[in-house]
Amino acid sequence: MKTVLLGSVIVLSTALPALSQEQARNESAVQLPDGPGKAIVQAACVQCHGLDRVAQPIGNTPQGWQIVLNNMVGLGAKITPDQVEVVHEYLARNFPDRAPKPKLVAGAMEVTIREWDVPTPGSRPHDPLVARDGSIWYAGINLSILGRFDPKTAQFKEYKLRPKSGPHGLVDDAQGNIWFTAQQGHYIGKLNPKTGDVTEFKLSHPDARSPHTPILDPKGNLFFTTSGNNFVGRVNGRTGEMTMVRQGPNPYGILVNSKGVPFFTLYGTNKLGSINPDTMEITEYTLPNPGIRPRRIAITSDDVIWFGDYARGYLGSYDPKTGQYREWPTPSGPDSQIYGITVANDVVWYNESGVRPNTIVRFDPRTEKFQSWIIPSGGGVVRHMMPDRNGNIWIAGSGVNKIGVVEVRSVIRTASTGR
């Protein structure tokens, strides 16, 4: 029933037949506390996953449970509006918020975080994209939606993909097409937003599944990882021809450096890799501590690689030119689960996803200073982020069904140093 991708992301494959209620109950073996609402939960919350998903030890805030229930109804949970109220009260009382709390760092930068609900509950906006025309896109992985948001008018437009496509990551090309990895449909897609037409590129290796993150190189070729499935691939932007090579464990975040060379993380171990874009030859770089698990990736203009060490709670940097590795403990500590990360104007931004509410953290490599803020909605795990032309950071809150922007407003000057 559950497909477990290496490294703690659990995707419930809606492609598989649903468990009977009884099977699901047996599987989860969870004893729910008594009280009004228990019977409804036992009946309405077991078609797609076990009750262990509901009776989470870290619980949720009342606001968080409301969002979860909206999402579950959007996904097809059969409960009536008055049952939702009873269930909400039951869950909020019996499974209160026990998640680790963030430790914030004050600093000189002033930001405003604005968020918008995406139109369809349960979409689970996974990766955001700032397109060249300034529009914002997101991959609604659970309902196979690609969404477009116009920041000027705050209007959304949704594109429905083939059911069970499960779009994960996005990138736009110079012609305005939106390329995406269909994680559950096992293809690379290209959406023409003017016509709504989707071109599908079948994964060329018979063993390859679940494409993860795509990126375009300056020549217009698309590179991608397949995460738990251990391949990296390339789609020739002109001919559509695909080349795939085995590479693991768990190739994950991928970005192209200033020389046009794709670099990726190996989230299943303490390594990074780079791809010769012409020959597909892979070079591996081993990070010094065997416990490091680099997840997403960012690159500064000096071609230094930045990543969150998801396992240990460190921000890491690695310079492939010199082999120098450096790391800094993230403010909220070892359980911070650093996830989405990006660079804007050579400053690093990332999300601490293991704390509730999630944070946005800013790290300036020049001063080596951190500053952090709470995401108003709680964030619900920000899996990816991307800067726009003004240096504002766009985020997608997968669990809260929102997209948002971190608007960098100004630097508060202090008297002596300016920082």
Instruction: Report the interface residues with ligand HEC, using CB under 6 A.
Output: 11-12, 41, 44-45, 47-49, 53-54, 68-69, 72, 75-77, 79, 87, 124, 142, 399
Tell me how far, at minimum, the Cβ of 83 lies from ligand HEC, in Å: 8
First to last CA, the chain: 52
Determine the distance from the C-alpha atom of residue 32 to the mean position of all C-alpha atoms in its chain, rounded to a whole number: 31
Tell me how far, at minimum, the Cβ of 417 lies from ligand HEC, in Å: 42
Both tokens assigned to 166: 């499960």
Tell me how far, at minimum, the Cβ of 144 lies from ligand HEC, in Å: 12
**In the complex with ligand HEC, which residue's Cβ is closer, 124 or 312?**
124
**In the complex with ligand HEC, which residue's Cβ is closer, 61 or 243?**
61
Residue carrying structure tokens 């020739």: 236
Tell me how far, at minimum, the Cβ of 197 lies from ligand HEC, in Å: 27
**In the complex with ligand HEC, which residue's Cβ is closer, 177 or 229?**
229
Q: What is the torsional sign of CA 91, 2, 307, 217? A: negative
Distance of alpha carbon 397 from alpha carbon 403, whole angstroms: 6
**In the complex with ligand HEC, which residue's Cβ is closer, 45 or 130?**
45
Distance of alpha carbon 130 from alpha carbon 258, whole angstroms: 19
Cβ neighbour number for residue 10 with a 10 Å cutoff: 10
Tell me how far, at minimum, the Cβ of 416 lies from ligand HEC, in Å: 45
**In the complex with ligand HEC, which residue's Cβ is closer, 73 or 245?**
73
Tell me how far, at minimum, the Cβ of 145 lies from ligand HEC, in Å: 13
Distance of alpha carbon 197 from alpha carbon 200, whole angstroms: 10
Closest CA to 383 of 170, 146, 120, 217: 170
**In the complex with ligand HEC, which residue's Cβ is closer, 76 or 240?**
76
**In the complex with ligand HEC, which residue's Cβ is closer, 76 or 288?**
76
Tell me how far, at minimum, the Cβ of 169 lies from ligand HEC, in Å: 15
Distance of alpha carbon 198 from alpha carbon 144, whole angstroms: 13
Q: Long-range contacts for 13-22 (Cβ within 8 Å, ≥24 apart)? A: 13/184, 14/48, 14/142, 14/164, 14/184, 15/164, 15/184, 18/47, 18/48, 19/46, 19/47, 21/46, 21/47
**In the complex with ligand HEC, which residue's Cβ is closer, 140 or 237?**
140
Closest CA to 121 of 76, 49, 69, 71: 71
Cα dist. 146→120, 124, 149, 206, 235 in Å? 11, 11, 10, 27, 20
Tell me how far, at minimum, the Cβ of 170 lies from ligand HEC, in Å: 17
**In the complex with ligand HEC, which residue's Cβ is closer, 44 or 188?**
44
Distance of alpha carbon 33 from alpha carbon 94, whole angstroms: 7
Tell me how far, at minimum, the Cβ of 69 lies from ligand HEC, in Å: 6
AA identity, residue 113:
I
